[in-house]
Structure 1
Amino acid sequence: MPSAPATPAPTPPAPEPAPAEPAPAVAESAPPSSVPAPATPEPAAPVPAAPEPAAPNPAETVARFDGYRDLRFGMSAAEVKKAWGSGLKRDPKSSDSCFYLDPGAGWSKVGLSFMIENGKFVRYDVGNKTDTAPGGGKVGMSTREIQKLYAGRIKLVNRPYLDGAYNLRIEDAAGGKGVLLFETDLKGTVTGWRVGLVPPVDYMEGCS
């Protein structure tokens, strides 16, 4: 009896294809930033230069409540002469306790004199129209003008030997010891003024 044909061996199944690798994800573009780009800094404004201090009023640096030019109340007669430079003269007939030092040309020409009492500079007298008193007063001004310049600071004092005329007495607004005194005539016009310490500034006849 013939033998049965041999059964063919089963064909192994074909291998399944490997799964495809996923395609790389496409990167999403980042949204535009909401933060604005820094602005270019503006140049700083130039700093204004500090203002220069105002120059002192030349008139106020000459006649002051504490002296005249480089002279200060309380200086000795020798110090006054040295600070002035030269040309101060004293009346040889004057007393050692109280006398005046006058610039070379004398009171009648210059209208300026420095009182020395007990060896110290205590007052100066002005009778010219050139010098300006501290605060702005001058010889030739009216009482009304003086009252306007020194409003609220004037004390009226009867002038001896001249009834109806007054001296206008003004203390230093800064609290110093000096006192300014204007002499006026019967018309109310300033005829002279002086600055000094108390009591010398109130001597009506100077050293007499």
Structure 2
Amino acid sequence: APDSLAAAPLPTPWPRVSAIPAGRDLESLAMRGLPSPTALRDRLCRLAGGAFDAVLIDCPPSLGPLTRSALAASSAVIVPIQCEYYPLEGLVQLLATVRHSARLNPGLAVGGVLLTMYDPAAQLSRDVEAEVRAKLAEPVFTTVIPRDPAVAEAPSHCRSVIDYAPRSPGARAYVRLALEVLKHSLLEPKP
């Protein structure tokens, strides 16, 4: 949240990775409204004088002011979609919001759509994957994140799935995703 950016980035167990937790005031900030749609972008630009190679912003699964502010501050967006029916309906609306956000942020691009909670044994997962890959103009990541209990359990232990269960299918998929993001240079600033 923009108010949280006043705090210094906190170290994490991973080298060269810092975090700024959202804090409990996130919900109230959304209710009060942000100072401007570009407030987050402006504060991120000032943060640590450009000492970071990349900034990842994890947004709530909504199209509220926090997500819109994050879109205004981003060069690329990764759009996760659960391999279920209702998220598929919401995907079209989210992609329209991303296109609309380009008015405030002409450099914003869809880095890719990420299929999550994928179960290869479930026909619905396979159908959603086929529809997303066939019908979207936006890029779709090759990597899919499988439905994996370790992914759901890791946050309750205050750990990433890669630390919590490094050999789990979910952890391995997130590592593949990170490599795919780097391969496609999605973390580099757009001119």
Bin for the TM-score computed over the shorter chain: under 0.3
Select the structure that is richer in helix.
2
Larger Rg: 1
TM-score (norm 2): 0.22
